[in-house]
């Protein structure tokens, strides 16, 4: 059981029979009344974001989620195919199930698939991925006094900001949570 006092960003709870992930939460203490928690949660099945208020100390069961390491194979007819590396079974996932993960998904990449009652829900990528720069303007000039950044298109099609010294073909490390450049690898 997870109490509202133990809510953290990313906590996964069972609420109204469905798995939810806590996106934001705020503990509120009123002058006369009791404390309560206002939480914004995302439904892992539906993808809908809801906001609700709970009494302080109210408890919820942990979401019954299983995770499997799977390898991304290919995209066909709008479906993303992943392979279970233990039994070589392939499963298709929709674009909605991938969410923002599709921006950094590269063939052969290993990702974690979250399951709820044998149904695949979402894909969690590694925190850092290494991707090649597909396009960027080599002579781009900007505000160099404050560090500055220029737009770059990655091999997966995602657009991010990179420092001026990064060129087409460079391999960079990207944080998948914030979609930000971390460092040049090679």
Q: What single string gives the DSSP state of each residue in 125-152?
A: --SEEEEEEEEE-TT-----TT---EEE
Cβ neighbourhood burial of 88 (10 Å; 0-12, 13-18, 19+): exposed
Each residue of 70-91: pLDDT tens digit?
999 998 888 999 999 888 899 9
Model confidence pTM above 0.85: no
Q: What is the pLDDT of residues 100-118, one digit of tens each?
A: 788 888 889 999 988 888 8
Rounded distance between C-alpha atoms, residue 146 and residue 184, angstroms: 19
């Amino acid at each position: 059981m997870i109490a509202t006092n133990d809510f953290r960003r990313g906590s996964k709870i069972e609420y109204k029979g469905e798995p939810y992930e806590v996106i934001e939460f705020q503990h509120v203490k009123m002058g006369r009344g009791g404390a309560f928690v206002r939480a914004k949660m995302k439904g892992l099945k539906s993808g809908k974001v809801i906001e609700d208020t709970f009494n302080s100390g109210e408890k919820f069961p942990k979401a019954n989620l299983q995770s499997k390491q799977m390898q991304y194979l290919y995209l066909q007819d709008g479906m993303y195919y992943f392979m279970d590396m233990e039994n070589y079974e392939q499963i298709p996932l929709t674009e909605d199930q991938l969410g923002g993960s599709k921006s950094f998904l590269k063939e052969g990449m290993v990702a974690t698939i979250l399951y709820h009652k044998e149904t695949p829900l979402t894909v969690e990528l590694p925190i850092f991925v290494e991707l090649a720069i597909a396009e960027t303007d080599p002579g781009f000039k900007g505000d160099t006094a404050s560090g500055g950044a220029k737009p770059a298109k990655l091999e997966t099609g995602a657009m991010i900001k990179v420092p001026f010294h990064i060129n087409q073909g460079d391999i960079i490390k990207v944080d998948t949570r914030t979609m930000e450049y971390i460092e040049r690898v090679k």
